[in-house]
Amino acid sequence: MFNFGYIGTSIAAGIFLIQTLPKKHKAWGRRTSQILVGSYMLFFLGLFGKENMQIEGFFMLLLSGVFAAATMHYVIAKIVGPLVFGRAWCSYTCWTAMILDLLPHKRPENKRIKGLGLIRYIYFFLSLGLVLFIWYVLKKPVEPQSTGELYWLVAGNILYYVLGILLALKLKDNRAFCKYICPIPVLQKITSRFSLLKIKIDPNKCIDCGKCEKVCPMDVNLLAYKNQNQRILATECIWCSTCAYECPENAITSTIGFDMGLKDKLYFRP
């Protein structure tokens, strides 16, 4: 109950700032929530509670049948929750992105590299395979809330941070790790496709200035969706609202509805 109370209050504080701050400072609402929740989950639930919140920890908990905070976290934030709020986890609460968003390349200098997103699927299945190997072949499961879990969490997070920072600096794109390597979207993208909450451009207000697309950290082709009078159906959208804060015509809002897209409309490098 304390966890839910703290996380709910932190997100509420972020939403309050979004509602009250002037448009050019609204991003602080998201950042506040991200720092309050991300650091709490990493330090209190992870390091202090010795729960491996990395994807391998989730797989290990599923095999062990233990219903711990990490299990609940994955169900709410990454599997079932995205049916309602899409990939909001990635903008409002993730402790990896909490650090990556501090780096200097908030607006990607170049568009996505086609094909590189495959790495996240390889990472996901390698993680699953590793856990299955440890469980069924070595028969040495990592006990829930043990020192082993803690070591795994620390090592995994160091790996994420080092890879994430190096990639962001190399590709001049803070969210490069999210686009190419992080295995979490493999789960999120399945359910966030049907998300009730999605961003929409009002075609009657939009003047096609393209500013929203320039600031989108995930290289979403927003105008392609607008031209088809669709909401932003891309499962790469992390619902950060950066596009909405940049729009000079206030044409972008969050909406509730039922829809889904098949293939994401994104910008790639030639």
Q: Which residues bind ligand SF4 (CB under 6 A)?
A: 90, 94, 96-97, 177-178, 182, 184-185, 199, 201, 206-212, 216-218, 220, 222, 232, 237-243, 246-247, 249, 251-252
Choice between 92 and 141, CB closer to ligand SF4: 92
What's the min distance (Å) between Cβ of 175 and ligand SF4? 7
- In terms of CB distance, is 57 or 185 closer to ligand SF4? 185
CA distance 237 to 230: 14
Q: Which residue has the tokens 């619902």?
A: 239
Q: Please, what sign has the CA dihedral across residues 181, 182, 186, 188?
A: negative
Residue with tokens 């109950």: 1
Q: How far apart are CA 127 and CA 114, in angstroms?
A: 23
Asked if 188 contacts 84 with a C-beta cutoff of 8 angstroms, the reply is: no
59-87 b/e with 16+ CB inside 10 Å = b?
Answer: bbbeeeeeebbbbebbeebbbebbeebbb
CA distances from 220 to 66, 101, 113, 174 (A): 38, 18, 13, 15
